[in-house]
Amino acid sequence: MNRETVSSENRLLAALGYPIGIIPIVVLLTDMKQDRFMRYHAVQAIALLIAGFVVFVALSLAMTIVLSIMPFLFPLAFLTPLLMLGWLALTIWCAFRAYQGEMFTIPVLSTYTARYLG
């Protein structure tokens, strides 16, 4: 699909679905899921949100355990905010690409989302 075949409203909703997690859920629960472009980005946005949450929780738990055993490693505590900034940058990049009307892949994540999309 290219930018000319996707309406500006759909491009905007797909783009907003990456930083605002409720939008892709609404897309999948309504008739908007009939549009291939919208369904693709809704599933990918939800997968990105879940992956970011899992990584954040795992890293937080790991840092809590490591810092309770070895407090001299406190400078490693800055890894969590740095990874979250990286995740935010990835989210913004995905939103930008979706607004351009592109159907792009996120390296590891798109493998799993492709299974759901069939």
Q: What is the pLDDT of residues 15-42, one digit of tens each?
A: 999 999 999 999 999 998 899 999 999 9
* Cα–Cα dist 90/106, whole Å: 9
pLDDT at residue 108 is higher than 90: no
Q: Quick one: DSSP state of residue 19?
A: T
Whole-angstrom distance, CA of residue 40 vs CA of residue 21:
15
Give the pLDDT band (50/70/90) at residue 4: low
Residues for the chain: how many in total?
Answer: 118
pTM for the complete prediction? 0.84
Task: Specify the pLDDT at position 99.
Answer: 95
